[in-house]
Chains A and B, each alone.
Chain A
Amino acid sequence: TQLLEQSPQFLSIQEGENLTVYCNSSSVFSSLQWYRQEPGEGPVLLVTVVTGGEVKKLKRLTFQFGDARKDSSLHITAAQPGDTGLYLCAGGRTNAGKSTFGDGTTLTVKP
């Protein structure tokens, strides 16, 4: 079983603060996705990273894929209440079946 460990599980911060969410595994993935999910809705894809060491930026969000493609991080700068949600990482393997999902990080940004 390929596990993806996400940390922290819960995070509550004030608007304007920075934060980092981690996604770690002992397995190598060919790609890794980050999703954000709001209550009562399906997860929405934020980014896909495929190359070891890759860094992608999406406005205030910075995603990094580890050099060995076993881990990833999501950094949010100057968090806003609209960033509140459940953040999920998912690892995929080329030509494999299902993806492996982390347990999620519930982020609450207080105004």
Chain B
Amino acid sequence: GAVVSQHPSRVICKSGTSVKIECRSLDFQATTMFWYRQFPKKSLMLMATSNEGSKATYEQGVEKDKFLINHASLTLSTLTVTSAHPEDSSFYICSARDWAGASDTQYFGPGTRLTVL
């Protein structure tokens, strides 16, 4: 199956700093990637849709100036959490859409655990 990597897997930072998370599709090109946030024992909460070569589409209630998304190539999207605060601590997961075949399937990265002190 398609492989999506995420880096870093864990990050601890001080309040007020910015953190960048990378999401890469390793064996396919992804014009569309998604960024999710997940709280313990809960389902995925979509934050934004990242489109290669254009601006990301943010879900209602997600601050675009705080969660900066860049999708500069067909295999890489980045999420930057700016001026992070403890309430931003969470598990962030990206996915990449593979349009191959008749189905629309998302493949997920392994996630990034962000802890803001």
Contact = CB atoms under 8 A, between A and B. Distances in A.
Interface of A: 30-31, 33, 35, 40-45, 48, 50, 86, 88, 90, 92-94, 96-99, 101-104, 106
Contacts, number: 65
Contact of B34 (A48, A86, A98): A98
Contacts of A41: 110-111
- What DSSP secondary structure best describes chain B's contact surface? strand
B93 A97 contact: no
B74 interface: no
A43 B57 contact: no
Nearest to B34: A98
Contacts of B91: 40
Contact of B103 (A40, A50, A88, A103): A50
Given A97-B49, A97-B57, A101-B44, A44 B108 contact: yes
5 contacts: A30-B103, A90-B106, A97-B57, A98-B49, A106-B41
